[in-house]
Amino acid sequence: MWGKKKNKSTKIETLIGTAMEIQGDLIFSGGLHVDGKIVGNVIAEEDSHSMLVLSDQGQIEGEVRVPYVVLNGQVTGDVYASERVELSRHGQVKGNVYYNLLEMAMGAEVNGNLVHCKDDKKLLEFQTDNNEKHEEDSEPSPTAS
């Protein structure tokens, strides 16, 4: 009633167990809980209110692009979160963290830059900018004859 905000809760729909290792990019919507290892990028579908929970046993080697991220494990790569990043006490990020809201517990580690970004769309633009840059870099340069 009086300006109460509705709590957004995303139901965990996908679980990656401790004995599982995924090689390649993972694109998902809804809730994802990772206890295992992912070698590749973890990306939420566009226009989703997805959530990633990485347990203290979980590892991700790649870029993370999810609106709401809870990290208690290890990420080697950049993290982009348009809504919120929660770094729990065992959480480790070896890369840059681009966030709108950040909560960091004592004991969490970030070996990279913390970049505050209020504009949700700007966080999503990084992906298209990076893809365009990679395409430009891969084009052969003209040589003078």
Beta strands 26-28; 42-44: pairing state: parallel
How far apart, in whole angstroms, are the C-alpha atoms of residue 131 and residue 82? 19
**pTM for this entry:** 0.78
Residues of the chain scoring pLDDT < 70: 1-10, 120-145
Per-domain residue ranges of the chain: 12-127
Residue 108, Cα to own-chain centre: how many angstroms? 16
Spell out the alpha helix ranges (H) of 9-82: none
Q: What is the 3-state secondary structure (H, E, C) of 10-43?
A: CCEEEEECCCCEEECCEEECCEEEECCEEECCEE
Q: What is the pLDDT of residue 145?
A: 46
Q: What is the pLDDT of residue 12?
A: 86
Bridge partner list, 60 = 38, 75
Q: What is the pLDDT of residue 48?
A: 76
